[in-house]
Amino acid sequence: MDCNDPALQSWVASANDPACDFPVQNLPYGRFRRAGDPDWCIGVAIGEQVLDLRRAGLIDSSDMNRLIRLAPPARQALRETISQGLREGSDQRAKFQAALVPQADVELGLPCQIGDYTDFYVGIHHALAVGKQFRPDAPLLPNYKWVPIGYHGRASTINASGSSFHRPRGQTKAPDAAEPAVTASARLDFELELGILIGRPNSQGAPIAIDDAEQHVFGITLFNDWSARDLQGWEYQPLGPFLSKNFASTVSPWMVTLEALEPFRKPWTRPEGDPRPLPYLDSQSNSERGAIDIGLEVWLQTARMAQAGHAGDCISRSNFADAAYWTVAQLVAHHTINGCALASGDLFGSGTLSGPEPQQAGSLLELSVGGKQSLQLSNGETRTFLQDGDSIILRGFCQRAGARRIGFGECRGTVLPAHPEA
C-alpha cells in the first residue's frame, strides 16, 4: 500500500483526527530534545507525538544533515519503513511505541543545521504590489520574468519556531532630514514564505539540471523573513537588503518531504504572453507537475490578545501554487547554473507569497499599503507595522479531494523591544 494512500490509519490515535497536521501520510522530519538533555535527536511527527528514530532502531546517528543527504531510493525506503511501523495493525507497534514522546514534552529546534541561506523573490503578486508603491508605471523590473531573483542572507540569525528576537536598530533617514540617524525600526514587518531545504549536495562547477533538481531537495518548511522596512528603504540601493533582513528569520521545525507532497502537485503555467523560460529553466516534467498546492495562513497575536487568552486573528491567506512565479526545481537549477556548490542543509527562502487579491498579502507593507492604511483587529487594536509583544504565526496545509490533508505545523516568532541604545 502506498505511503500516501488516504485510507491508511495509524495506531497513534491523534494522527487519525481529520484536522491533524501530522497523519501517517505526512511523516515530516525534525529535531527535538527532551527536558534536561543537551543533545538533539531526529524525530518524525505523528499526530501529537514524535517518533525518535534512533530509539526505534531506524537510524544509527543523530546527525540530521547526514540523513537528508540520503539518495532518494534510500530516503524513500526509510519513509516506507516508518510508515509500515506506524500503521494500524503493525507488528512493529511495541518497538515504535517505546520510542514515542509527546510533542508537548520536548523542545523543537531548527530542522537541521543550516549552513547557508539564499532568499528568492518568487512571489509575483508581492513583487507587483510593492513595485507599484515605488514605481507605479513599471512595478516589475525587466529581468523579473527571465531570472529567479535572489540574494544571500545570514544563516546565523535563523531562529527556531517559538523563539523571540529584539527589534533591530540601524540607520534610517526621514525624507526631510539632512542626514540619517540610528534608531530602532518603526516599520517592522513579517514575510510569509516557504523554506526549501537542500538534501544532496552538488560539486562546485557542476550545475544541476532542472529534471534532476528535486533529487537534491529534502523537504519544505514554513519560513518568516522578518524585515525592517525603514532600514531597508535607506540601505537597499544599489546592492539590496543587508541589516534590514539579517537580524532574524524564523523557520518551522518540521520538514515536509517531497514524497508527502506528491499528491498535491499541479501543472506549472504562466500567463499568456509571458516569456517562456530559458532552456535550463524549462522542462516537460516541470510544466506538468512543478507547482505544489500549499495553502498558507498568517496569524497575528498581539500582547494584549495573548494576555486575554485570544489565539489571534488570521490576517491573510494565500497559496504557494498561485503566488509563485518560479518552481522549486527552477530555483535549484538557477542557483547552480554558474557552478555554485550547494551543501546539505542549505536553505532557500521562497520570497513573500502573496495572493492576487489585496487581502491575500504576505506582508504588512502590502496589507497597510506602505503604512497608509491601518489593519483593524478583532479586539479593537490596529496595526500598520508590528509592535513590541506581537507574535506572528504562519501555518500551512495541503488538501484536495481523494487525498489525506497534511500540514506543516506552525512557525511562530515574537517581537521584543529593541536593546537599549549603546
Q: Which residues are catalytic?
A: 126
Q: Hey, which residues does 158 pair with through a beta bridge?
A: 249
Residue 209 parent element (H or E): none
Instruction: Give the C-alpha separation, 347 to 350, whole Å.
Output: 10
Instruction: Give the C-alpha separation, 133 to 63, whole Å.
Output: 45
Q: Could you tell me which residues come within 8 angstroms of residue 281 by beta carbon, excluding any fewer than 6 positions away?
A: 148, 210, 326, 330, 333, 334
Which among 234, 121, 99 has a CA at the least distance from the CA of 174? 234
SS3 155: helix
Instruction: Give the C-alpha separation, 89 to 77, whole Å.
Output: 20
Q: Could you tell me which residues come within 8 angstroms of residue 308 by beta carbon, excluding any fewer than 6 positions away?
A: 379
Q: Could you tell me which residues come within 8 angstroms of residue 251 by beta carbon, excluding any fewer than 6 positions away?
A: 110, 111, 114, 158, 159, 160, 161, 195, 221, 222, 223, 224, 347, 411
Q: Which burial class, exposed, middle or buried, applies to 236 when counting CB atoms under 10 A from its CB (0-12, 13-18, 19+)?
A: middle
Question: What does R_g of the chain's alpha carbons equal in angstroms?
Answer: 21
Instruction: Give the C-alpha separation, 64 to 353, whole Å.
Output: 28
Sign of CA dihedral 43, 45, 50, 55: negative
